[in-house]
Structure 1
Amino acid sequence: MSYQALYRAWRPQKFDDLVGQELVTKTLKNALITKQTSHAYLFTGPRGTGKTSAAKIFAKAINCHFQDNGEPCNECETCTSITAGRQNDVIEIDAASNNGVEEIRDIRDKVKYAPTECDYKIYIIDEVHMLSTGAFNALLKTLEEPPGNVVFILATTEPHKIPATIISRTQRFDFRRIQPAVILRRMEYIVKEKQLKYDPAALKLIAQAAEGGMRDALSILDQVMSFGNDEITLENALMVTGSVQNDELLKYLQQVTKKDTAQALETLHQILDDGKDAARFVEDLISFCRDLLLYQQMPEQIEKDELDVVNDDFRNFAQEIKPEKIYQMIDLLNEQQENMRFTAHASIYLEVLTVKLSSSQPATTAPNATAVPAPENLEPKYTVKFEDLTRQIKQLQQQVEQLQQAQSLGQTTNADQQPPQQAQAKHSQNRRGSSSTKIDLQQVYGVLGEATRDSLNEIKDVWNDLLNMLTVAQRAVMHVSSPVAASYDGVIVTFQFDFLCQRAQNDQQLEDTLENGLDRLIGRVPRLIFMPQEQWPQIRQDYLNGQKVGKKGIPDPVGKENGQAKKGSTPKKSKADPVVDEALKLFGNEIVDIKND
């Protein structure tokens, strides 16, 4: 008899042999024991985790008349014929090569015929996600209501490619990746049964390289046995898998951590000269860094789960290296691994990677991380000094404003200058508490002098439409804003938060977008004035107080700022009750009383 591959010779023949999938096997066995089997199953999971094997074991168990606790006997004619693949009532189809509508229609036509020897006719469709859309549609009705003696078992590695209408008509079982320790125990059992000598470290390496697939592990084991003439050694396993020993990985990482670039490059070249796979080397480095990081958090668990990784050198290095450095190394490894996918010169990328790892610095270190709260303890001390400095600056600005105002009014009496100075002082005091937001009172008073209720209503009606024209980032700035006063040529917009107001004032692109939107919505481009919401009541009140001053014959600073009162001119007397007129123009008839906010 010719040689048979290990994964075929040692294919599980009963549910207990299907290691690593206890949840699936227990559910299927209980369904067989209680005779509550379904008409369609969907087995999903990574390659080599036992999906097809479970389907064949289920086919034997459901047709075996001598099953024991849900397990097939594997001795009767039905079981042996299914195992040998000569049972006509168990049909295995590869959907990758039979994915057309005609093949599925053939199944649909034959499914109505009763089984010839077994109790149930079993259709095992492997890689079912490869079926075409037409084939899925042809299978749909049959899968939903097949004859009572037919069972469909669909297997796939990519369940997301299967239509939801198919998945909803099946019982889905997800096969998980098999743990390296479970794969190791299975391989030890096989080599002991074959009476072969082996190095435990070699089997551990193979279990790690299999990445959760039992079939991959047995295939690698088969290669190692062939390479070493049935001698399973660590050296042979390293040669076959292209992996790098943990000692070499540790040596390389210690060199790049100590910034010994020359030695690290020499170690890298030695690894590549030994025939190690470049992609596998990066993968091993990522896995090793992951072990270091997790060992710092839960050493007992890593020593229990990982196979031949933790030793004294590993422990010492894990205590020396900082987590921030490991984070940075993993990021660089992932980036370079992605770059290496499409290159024929992997060694160049590894050399660049070595230089980067040697020269990189962690963004933060543990001592700095613990010192973060320190600024909070110092905050009151520096806050007081900053406020004193700010107050002095504001006082100087106030004096400069008073001198400029006195000069523009043209040598008027001290009594005439006092009310405007008091008003400016109020504005300065108000602005002092508003951080660094700049407000041009001349523009604000210009809008208020011509503001009307109709103009404000016009802006409010289109405000939501205007915000919808902005980008997501611009809407994030403007979503807490609202227009509070408007004239034909200007709009005052307040913000709930001061920092968003400052950002809007400094964003010329945002202002251009708003002006373009207003041009499209209302047919003109009014000037936009941004201010914090908390300052609006005081500025509005100061403006109204200035109107009262103008009524008493004192030069109106608003009129001056609007260009209405010039040097040497005599202010005109206001008409009856101008304050009420202005209030009605600004705020409508419902404003009957003015209160200081």
Structure 2
Amino acid sequence: MAYQALYRVFRPQQFKDVIGQDAITTTLKNALIEQQTSHAYLFCGPRGTGKTSVAKILAKALNCRNLKDGEPDNTCDLCVAINNGSLTDVIEIDAASNNGVDEIRDIRDKAKYAPTEGKVKVYIIDEVHMLSTGAFNALLKTLEEPPAHVVFILATTEPQKIPATIISRTQRFDFRRITADDIVKRMQFILDDKQITYDNQALMVIAKAAEGGMRDALSILDQVLAFGQEHVTVANALDVTGGAAAVQLGEYLQHVAEKDTAAALTTIEQLLASGKDAGRLIDDLIGYLRDLLVFQQAPALVNDTASALQDSHFKALAEKFQPDQLYHMIAVLNTTQGQLRLTNSPTLYLEVATVQLGQPAPQPAAVESAPPVASAEVKQLEQTVAKLSKQLQTLQQGAPAPAAAPAKSAARVSVKVAKEKIYPILGAATKKDLEAVKEIWPDLLSMLSVPDQAMMKISKPVAASPTGVIVSFAYDILIERANSDTALMTALADDLGKLMGGPRQVVLVQEQQWPAVRKQYLDEHGAPKAKSAPQEESPVVKPITDLFGKEPNITVKND
């Protein structure tokens, strides 16, 4: 049989085998014992923390014929079939490659049918955040009211991308990063089972490189075992992960503490020349400095198992560095870490950081550094401040109310009215034209850019003729902006012409000015005469006009 990766061989088969997620496994077991399981679950968390493994265990537990204390027995025919991947009632789907509406509709249609062999039909959808919006909408109704024999288990590393409507229809479980101690214990169990010897320090190096992911840790362990199968050593673990040995980090920081920048630069060059990863090297240095900081405050919290960075230099460095120096060094390394992502020359930035680490931490400006002020000068300043405060109070009590508000309101109506453009439109304006413009106004706004839409949303057409439209704005400042925006005015006229079937001129007017402008026009020119609506003939006149014809043969007089 072909070799299988460790994370596949040692995948948890029961809830009790899951590492670092006790709250989740206990909750699920209790729900199974009480027969209060949900129809849909959402498993969230970083990669390699057990989401898919727990989903498969839950699928087995829901179908197991001999469930005991919420744990599947792994011996009945259904558990064996699920472990082999041959049970058709447990369907695993990768949403990254099946993220369309058609795939989800297919699931929705097939979910209606009862399971063929098992008790419950279980759909495990991995990386569910990759589904399209249409696919989520297709899944929504099924999640809300699924058949009694169907359970959905959704897994994702990015829950923020899942619609709230989906999350609200599921029971959500957040998987935590697994602690380094738990990862080390699991690797110890696996290596003991395979009868392979190891160094605890090496396992801690692997656990730190895994960053809370059990699958990543076992993948790294696989590489280390391939590098040297007889024994898992610290050197092999450091070579595989690209990390630096604690003694090398200690020597480097010892050179920094002694202001021996040349020796520190030499150490950096040697580490990089031996193949160490620059990013991992900075991570290790920050971890070392963190341990120094914690050791100064609470030595019991730092031990060989927890830090994996203890060496002969550690305690001496903890006594030599002051906390502010450690803060400064961590800040420098953090900045360098960000710079490494944008460069192909990590050596350059590490050398600059080494020089900065050897310099003293910048001191905050102290008040004591200012020259002392004579007591007489202080007294004189206090008297001056008191005098000015008294004058200000007197002015405030006797000053008249500010006249800013009337000036502002007057400014609101000071926008110049373009009568030469408005009057021609008013002369030919009709109610029919205005209603037509109002009807297509939302369509016109939708044709504009988003910023222009936002500005024009508070406008409305107030008069229209076959050749032009008058638009009112609530704020004069927006009229000024719109009139000065040639592109906007051109777009309004062009788009309005397209929608109305002919060229239209657009004229802007302030909302408060519009009634006065209209009244002034009526006073000067009278009401516009409707040209498009002919007078309807009287029922008495119509037969006569049919016989003798219209003007000039017949004149109709109203009595």
- Structures share a fold, TM > 0.5? yes
Aligned position for 1:433: 386
Q: Distance in 2 between matches of 1:465 and 1:292?
A: 69
Q: Tell me, what secondary structure is at the counterpart of 2:358?
A: helix
- 1:115 and 2:115 aligned: yes
Q: Distance in 1 between matches of 2:257 and 2:409?
A: 56
User: Cα distance 1:432–1:361, how it changes in 2: closer, same or farther (>3 A)?
Assistant: closer
Aligned position for 1:344: 344
Q: Tell me, what secondary structure is at the counterpart of 1:153?
A: strand
User: Cα distance 1:117–1:310, how it changes in 2: closer, same or farther (>3 A)?
Assistant: same
User: Cα distance 1:390–1:170, how it changes in 2: closer, same or farther (>3 A)?
Assistant: closer
Matches within 5 A, 1:44-59: 44-59=44-59
- 1:387 and 2:378 aligned: yes
Q: Tell me, what secondary structure is at the counterpart of 2:361?
A: coil
Aligned position for 2:158: 158
TM-score if structure 2 supplies the norm length? Answer: 0.68
Aligned position for 1:249: 249
| Structure 1 contact 324–364 (Cα < 8 Å) conserved | no
| Paired letter, 1:387 | V
| Structure 1 contact 257–358 (Cα < 8 Å) conserved | yes
Deviations 1:484-536 (A, max 9, x none): xxxxxxxxxxxxxxxxxxxxxxxxxxxxxxxxxxxx9xxxxxxxxxxxxxxxx
User: Cα distance 1:201–1:452, how it changes in 2: closer, same or farther (>3 A)?
Assistant: closer
Shift of 1:434: 5.1
Shift of 1:390: 5.2
Matches within 5 A, 1:68-217: 68-217=68-217
Deviations 1:287-320 (A, max 9, x none): 2222222222222122286143345531221122
| Paired letter, 2:386 | G
User: Cα distance 1:205–1:326, how it changes in 2: closer, same or farther (>3 A)?
Assistant: same
| Structure 2 contact 247–311 (Cα < 8 Å) conserved | no
Shift of 1:234: 1.4
Q: Which runs of 5+ in 2 are unaligned?
A: 412-476, 478-559
Shift of 1:230: 4.5
| Structure 1 contact 29–70 (Cα < 8 Å) conserved | yes
User: Cα distance 1:265–1:116, how it changes in 2: closer, same or farther (>3 A)?
Assistant: same
- 1:333 and 2:333 aligned: yes
Aligned position for 2:321: 321
Q: Distance in 2 between matches of 1:76 and 1:432?
A: 90
Shift of 1:357: 1.5
User: Which of the numbers 459, 476, 485 marks the counterpart of 2:404?
Assistant: 459
User: Cα distance 1:432–1:216, how it changes in 2: closer, same or farther (>3 A)?
Assistant: closer
Shift of 1:452: 8.3
- 1:290 and 2:290 aligned: yes
Shift of 1:465: 13
Shift of 1:246: 1.3
Deviations 1:137-170 (A, max 9, x none): 1111111111011000000111111111111111
Q: Distance in 2 between matches of 1:279 and 1:93?
A: 35
User: Cα distance 1:438–1:292, how it changes in 2: closer, same or farther (>3 A)?
Assistant: farther
Shift of 1:19: 0.9
| Structure 2 contact 200–305 (Cα < 8 Å) conserved | no
Q: Tell me, what secondary structure is at the counterpart of 2:232?
A: coil
Q: Tell me, what secondary structure is at the counterpart of 1:359?
A: coil
Shift of 1:464: 12
TM-score if structure 1 supplies the norm length? Answer: 0.64
Aligned position for 2:509: none
| Structure 2 contact 291–307 (Cα < 8 Å) conserved | no
Q: Distance in 1 between matches of 2:285 and 2:387?
A: 53
Matches within 5 A, 1:491-530: none
| Structure 1 contact 129–159 (Cα < 8 Å) conserved | yes
| Paired letter, 2:110 | K
Aligned position for 1:549: none
Aligned length in residues: 411
| Structure 2 contact 14–57 (Cα < 8 Å) conserved | yes
Aligned position for 1:486: none
User: Cα distance 1:387–1:226, how it changes in 2: closer, same or farther (>3 A)?
Assistant: closer
| Paired letter, 1:218 | L
Aligned position for 2:428: none
User: Cα distance 1:382–1:170, how it changes in 2: closer, same or farther (>3 A)?
Assistant: same
Q: Tell me, what secondary structure is at the counterpart of 1:19?
A: coil
| Paired letter, 2:378 | E
Q: Which runs of 5+ in 1 are unaligned?
A: 392-428, 467-519, 521-597
- 1:272 and 2:268 aligned: no
Shift of 1:202: 1.4
Aligned position for 1:219: 219
Aligned position for 1:574: none
Q: Distance in 1 between matches of 2:35 and 2:176?
A: 26
Q: Distance in 2 between matches of 1:16 and 1:333?
A: 41
User: Cα distance 1:78–1:465, how it changes in 2: closer, same or farther (>3 A)?
Assistant: farther
Matches within 5 A, 1:450-489: 453=400, 456-459=401-404
Q: Distance in 2 between matches of 1:465 and 1:3?
A: 86
| Structure 2 contact 96–131 (Cα < 8 Å) conserved | yes
| Structure 2 contact 63–119 (Cα < 8 Å) conserved | yes
User: Cα distance 1:120–1:364, how it changes in 2: closer, same or farther (>3 A)?
Assistant: same
User: Cα distance 1:312–1:249, how it changes in 2: closer, same or farther (>3 A)?
Assistant: closer
| Structure 2 contact 90–124 (Cα < 8 Å) conserved | yes
Q: Distance in 2 between matches of 1:245 and 1:189?
A: 25
Aligned position for 1:561: none
Aligned CA-pair RMSD = 3.1
| Structure 1 contact 324–363 (Cα < 8 Å) conserved | no
| Structure 1 contact 119–149 (Cα < 8 Å) conserved | yes
Q: Distance in 2 between matches of 1:141 and 1:308?
A: 51
| Structure 1 contact 24–173 (Cα < 8 Å) conserved | yes
Q: Tell me, what secondary structure is at the counterpart of 2:173?
A: strand
* Percentage of pairs with the same residue: 55
Aligned position for 1:20: 20
Q: Tell me, what secondary structure is at the counterpart of 2:59?
A: helix
| Bigger Cα displacement from structure 2, 226-235 vs 160-169 | 226-235
Aligned position for 1:525: none
Q: Tell me, what secondary structure is at the counterpart of 1:342?
A: coil
| Paired letter, 2:376 | K
Shift of 1:51: 0.3
User: Cα distance 1:385–1:291, how it changes in 2: closer, same or farther (>3 A)?
Assistant: same
Q: Distance in 2 between matches of 1:319 and 1:244?
A: 23
User: Cα distance 1:117–1:206, how it changes in 2: closer, same or farther (>3 A)?
Assistant: same
